[in-house]
Homo-oligomer: A and B are copies of this chain.
Amino acid sequence: MSKKRRNSITIFDIASEAGVSASTVSRVLNNSMPVDPAKRDAVMKAIQTLNYKPNLAAQELGRGRTMTIGILMPLSVSIFYNTIINGIEQRLEQTPYRSLVAASNFNPQEEHKLLDLLVARKVDGIISLWSQLDENYLLEIAKETPFISIGRVLPGIEKHSLVVSNMLGAYQATRYLIERGHTRIAHITGALSVPDGVQRLEGYKKALKEAGLEVDPQLIVEGDFDEQAGLFGVGVLFARGARFTALFAGNDMMAMGARLGFYRHGMRVPDDVSLVGFDDQPGAAYTIPPLTTVRQPLVEMGRMAGQAILDLIEDQEPDLPQFNTELLIRESVATVVRNDFNYKMYMPS
Contact = CB atoms under 8 A, between A and B. Distances in A.
A116 interface: yes
Contacts of A290: 260
Nearest to A119: B53
A105 B83 CA distance: 12
A331 to B, nearest CB: 9
A259 interface: yes
A85 interface: yes
B66 A77 contact: no
A61 B64 contact: no
Interface in A37-76: 53-58, 60-61, 63-66, 76
Contact of A227 (B2, B57, B105, B283): B283
B121 A57 contact: yes
A58 B61 contact: yes
Contacts of A285: 227
Interface in A104-125: 105, 116-117, 119-122, 124
Interface in A80-101: 82-83, 85-86, 89, 98, 100-101
Contact of A122 (B56, B77, B78): B56
Interface stretch (A3-11, A185-193, A236-244, A317-325): A3-11
B56 A121 contact: yes
Interface string A287-316: 111100000000000000000000001100
Given A53-B116, A61-B61, A288 B286 contact: no
Interface in A237-273: 253, 256-257, 259-260, 263
A77 to B, nearest CB: 4
A79 interface: yes
Contacts of A79: 77-79
A70 to B, nearest CB: 11
B61 A55 contact: yes
Nearest to A93: B110
A56 B124 CA distance: 13
Contacts of A313: 2
B288 A259 contact: yes
A8 B122 contact: yes
Contact of A287 (B56, B77, B288, B289): B288
B100 A100 contact: yes
Interface in A206-261: 227, 231, 253, 256-257, 259-260
A83 B4 CA distance: 31
B63 A60 contact: no
A120 B54 CA distance: 6
Interface in A133-163: none
B61 A57 contact: yes
Nearest to A260: B286
A248 to B, nearest CB: 18
Interface of A: 2, 4-6, 8, 53-58, 60-61, 63-66, 76-79, 82-83, 85-86, 89, 98, 100-101, 105, 116-117, 119-122, 124, 227, 231, 253, 256-257, 259-260, 263, 282-283, 285-290, 313-314
